Structure 1
Amino acid sequence: MNIGDIFPNFVANTTVGEIDFYNWLGNSWGILFSHPADFTPVCTTELARVVQLYPEFQKRNIKPIALSIDSAESHLKWIPDIKAYGNIDENTEFPYPIIDDQNRSLAVKFNMLDQDEVNSSGIVLTCRAVFVIDPNRKLRLSILYPASSGRNFDEILRVIDSVQLTDSHKVATPVDWKVGDECMVLPTIKNEECSSLFPKGVNTFEVPSGKCYLRKTPYPASE
């Protein structure tokens, strides 16, 4: 899939029962992230981190959903370990579903495979895929990590902040940007439009080429 493609619907068994992905998503954004297997060290750290960050996903109208190549029954037995690692109260409801993909149908469908990582049976493991889907069912972000490398969910939230900001304002975000930082004015915006579009002002960085394309404006969301 390419950025901007419609993310296909699917039906799957999960830790909260069978779901239709589109119905489950509703009018929210979604983040689907995959895992090689239950009861594995890196995966346990990642799922615990998403529980800890769940309020941050809620602020952004995002529903997380995980996938692992084991049964829903196995996932449910794994959840207490995830809670323990994340220092999460064992009586707290686990806040997001984990998809049962023991037949690897979704891993294959969405090409979430790491050809360099195989298990003891010689089966190719699922990589650590990240798919962010908007309420229009479009794929807005895709990141593939190797099975051996844990994800940085703070970075994933940072990129989601950028995507959601640039959906509503005519800006792009520069290298290492974070919420509150200056943004870049889009190259398609004419100079004469800037005063009305960016009342906080625009600063142009002078470069040897003399081309006035590096234009910055203060973070616009508080306008």
Structure 2
Amino acid sequence: MPNLGDVFPDFTADSTSGPIKFHEWLGDSWGIFFSHPADYTPVCTTELGHVASIMPEFQKRGLKAIAISCNKVDDHKGWIKDIQDYSKLGDTWPYPIVADPNRELAVKLGMLDPAEKDKAGLPLTARAVFIIGPDKKLKLSLLYPATTGRNFTEILRVIDSLKLTAEKKVATPANWKQGERCMVLPTVKPDECSTLFPKGVNTVAMPSGKGYMRFTPQPD
């Protein structure tokens, strides 16, 4: 599995939207790449349908979505009809699903779940989530077991934090949500605060006497 800060591996593969050259497809956008154990499986059906329903949330954040499952494109296309019906979606499908029938990408990206196996006894692909920046570098990775569906509300929250902290000298505290106060990075010197944070900085007194708990309204 790639490490944070690594350039995410480029690949060429077939998909429901035709051949994909990943870096070329991503372009200058942020991207979410998420994997699925197999087509026609229950948890994956709920996840793919939910992502399709919240695509406007990804799009307004300037983010492209792409999925992968270890089956052929024709299987994906048949499965999409089930997903659309289950999730009460329209006739259009808003993002590509990559084919990985030989599990080459699953192995390359370290996405196998050894505890869960398919009918042939092979390890299932885990539910990996990769967030990739416009510089093609990995910004976040999450790895769920095949049996646990992902929380895409949390993933959207994380994307908001990643984009904000990539542009501003802030961090986001526990349970932060868009619009809430942020924390000033420890690397920011006190004499820089008035310029960087015109909305003001509040320093919370700590028993240690160290002034590291600095809060500011979310920068614009």
TM-score scaled by structure 2?
A: 0.98
C-alpha offsets along residues 139-195 of structure 1, whole Å, 9 cap, x if unaligned? 001000000000001101100100100111110000000000000000011111111
Structure 1 residues not aligned, in runs of 5+ = none
In the alignment, which residue of structure 1 is the partner of 2:192?
A: 193
After superposition, where does 1:60-209 map in structure 2 within 5 Å?
A: 60-89=61-90, 91=91, 93-209=92-208
CA–CA distance in structure 2, aligned partners of residues 23 and 170 of structure 1: 30
Letter of the 2:213 partner, please give it. Answer: L
1:55-104 superposed Cα distances (whole Å, 9 cap, x missing partner):
01101111100000111000000001111121112x2x100000100100
* Letter matched to residue 179 of structure 2: G
Aligned length: 219
Distance (whole Å) between structure 1 residues aligned to residue 35 and residue 21 of structure 2: 17
Report the AA paired with residue 27 of structure 1. Answer: D
- Structure 2: how far apart are the matches of 1:193 and 1:180? 22
Point out where structure 2 has 5 or more consecutive residues left out of the alignment: none
Q: Aligned with 1:14: secondary structure?
A: coil
Which residue of structure 2 aligns with residue 31 of structure 1? 32
User: What residue is the counterpart of 1:44 in the other structure?
Assistant: 45
Counterpart of 1:200 in structure 2: which amino acid? K
| Offset at residue 206 of structure 1 (A) | 1.1
Q: Distance in 2 between matches of 1:12 and 1:198?
A: 45
Q: Which runs of 4+ in 1 moved over 3 A?
A: none
SS at match of 2:200: coil
Q: Secondary structure at the match of 2:19?
A: strand
Report the Cα offset of residue 123 of structure 1. 0.5
Give the equivalent residue in structure 2 for 1:3. 4
The letter of the residue matching 1:154 is: T
How well do the aligned residues superpose, as a CA RMSD in angstroms?
0.7
Percent identity over paired residues: 59
